[in-house]
């Protein structure tokens, strides 16, 4: 009779253990985005941080996604209150500079923050080579299904979202995505 | 002449207050519809809270998007479809009952049914008089 009890106990416990085990293999914060492969939402956002040298845009200029068609676009959402954004700032800034003159456009989007805070933060971080824009009401952030900052979107030349990176990006990730999208263009 | 002015002022006040009342009713209806939709959408930066209940800035912005879309004439289903297209079905606090999601609805019923079964068998066993040899 004992084997029957053992079988019933096993039938109750084993599925629960399997379910917990499966849960432990997954990162609850890593929620797959439905956006890659889909058309990126258009935007027209005002520049508040101009960028440097040949990547610079005048403060107040309206950056429109439609004007960037034909180029790979790296869209980085950030904020001055975001600690992880500090980890990727210099990497993004230097990598953007290394792509100057190529059909790649880097753009920062300030998320849930004030322009003055963003400008001050950029100064403290030693400058930013590419321009940053304001996103009033986080409308563009919501259009891009943003969960938090930093998040970086890689758009192909047709204006489709190719990849989304959650958390701070490193140079290897940026170059991998940008180079692969540029290679697609060159074919 | 004075009488005409008074009548005109009164008429204007009545029309104006009526328009205000209509606007206020429309606003409260829109707020109510916004609350219904917002309470079905998950706050992306919280644990198990809807964007209606969450005080986070992102939830406030999302509620504003819901309100604007409803005001622009979209139906609640169209508003939800917009958020699903951006965040996936994860954004719905109650997943749609299809595919793997059916487990969420079926599993509790199965567990309760099996629990009742176990209780029934146990009670019957306890209450059945044992035959003495």
Query: CB contact, 8 Å: B129 with chain A?
Result: no
ipTM reported for the complex, 2 dp: 0.85
C-alpha Rg value of chain A to the nearest Å: 21
Q: What's the gap in Å between the CA of A77 and the closest CA on chain B?
A: 13
Minimum distance, in Å, between the CA of residue B88 and any CA atom of chain A: 6
pLDDT at residue B97, as a whole number: 75
Whether residue A185 is predicted with pLDDT greater than 60 in this model: the reply is no
Check pLDDT > 60 for residue A187: no
Average pLDDT, integer, range A90-112: 96
In 3-state terms, what secondary structure has residue B129?
A: coil
Record the tokens describing residue B8, joined without a space. Answer: 């005109």
User: Confidence class of residue A116 from pLDDT cuts 50, 70 and 90?
Assistant: very high
Place of tokens 């508003």: B79
Residues pairing with A154 in the sheet: A74, A163
User: Per-residue pLDDT tens for A40-79?
Assistant: 999 999 999 999 988 999 999 999 999 998 999 999 999 9
Give helix then strand counts, H and E, for chain B: 4, 0
Task: Answer whether B90 touches A (CB < 8 Å).
Answer: yes
CA distance, residue A30 to nearest chain B CA (Å)? 11
**Which residues partner with B88 through β-bridges?**
none
CA of residue A30 relative to chain centroid, distance: 13
What is the spatial distance between Cα A57 and Cα A59, in angstroms, rounded to a whole number? 6
Residue A48, φ and ψ in degrees, nearest 5: -120, -25
Residue B22 is predicted with a pLDDT of 72
- Residue of chain B nearest A138, judged by CA positions: B61
Q: Is A52 on the interface with B (CB under 8 A)?
A: no
CA–CA separation, B92 vs B82, rounded Å? 11
Q: pTM value?
A: 0.79
Is residue B37's pLDDT more than 80?
A: yes
Phi first, then psi: give them for residue A23, nearest 5 degrees.
Answer: -60, -35
Indicate yes or no: CB of B61 within 8 angstroms of CB of A143. no
Considering only the beta carbons, identify the residue of A112, A145, A148 that sits closest to B87: A145
> How confident is residue A90, by pLDDT bands cut at 50, 70 and 90?
very high
């Amino acid at each position: 009779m004992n084997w029957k009890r053992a079988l019933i106990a096993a039938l109750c416990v084993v599925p629960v253990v399997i379910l917990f085990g499966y849960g432990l293999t997954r990162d609850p914060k890593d929620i797959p985005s439905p956006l890659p492969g889909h058309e990126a939402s258009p935007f027209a956002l005002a520049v508040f941080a101009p960028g440097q040298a040949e990547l610079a845009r005048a403060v107040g200029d309206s950056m429109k996604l439609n004007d960037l068609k034909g180029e790979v676009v790296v869209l980085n959402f950030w904020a001055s209150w975001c600690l992880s954004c500090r980890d990727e700032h210099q990497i993004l800034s230097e990598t953007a500079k290394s792509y100057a003159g190529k059909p790649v456009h880097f753009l920062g989007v300030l998320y849930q923050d004030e322009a003055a805070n963003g400008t001050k933060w950029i100064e403290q971080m030693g400058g930013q080579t590419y321009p940053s824009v304001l996103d009033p009401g986080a409308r563009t952030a919501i259009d891009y299904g943003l969960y938090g900052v930093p998040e970086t979107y890689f758009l192909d030349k047709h204006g489709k979202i190719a990849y989304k990176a959650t958390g701070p990006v490193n140079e290897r990730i940026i170059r991998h995505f940008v180079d692969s999208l540029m290679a697609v263009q060159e074919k | 002449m004075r009488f005409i002015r008074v009548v005109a002022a009164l008429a204007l006040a009545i029309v104006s207050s009526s328009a205000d009342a209509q606007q206020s009713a429309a606003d409260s209806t829109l707020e109510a519809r916004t609350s219904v939709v917002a309470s079905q959408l998950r706050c992306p930066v919280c644990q198990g809270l809807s964007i209606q209940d969450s005080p986070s800035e992102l939830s406030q912005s999302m509620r504003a998007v819901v309100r604007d879309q409803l005001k622009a004439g979209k139906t609640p289903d169209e508003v939800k479809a917009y958020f699903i297209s951006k965040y996936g079905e994860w954004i719905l606090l109650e997943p749609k009952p299809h595919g793997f999601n059916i487990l969420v609805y079926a599993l509790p019923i199965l567990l309760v049914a099996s629990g009742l079964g176990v209780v029934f068998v146990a009670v019957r066993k306890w209450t059945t008089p044992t035959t003495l040899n």
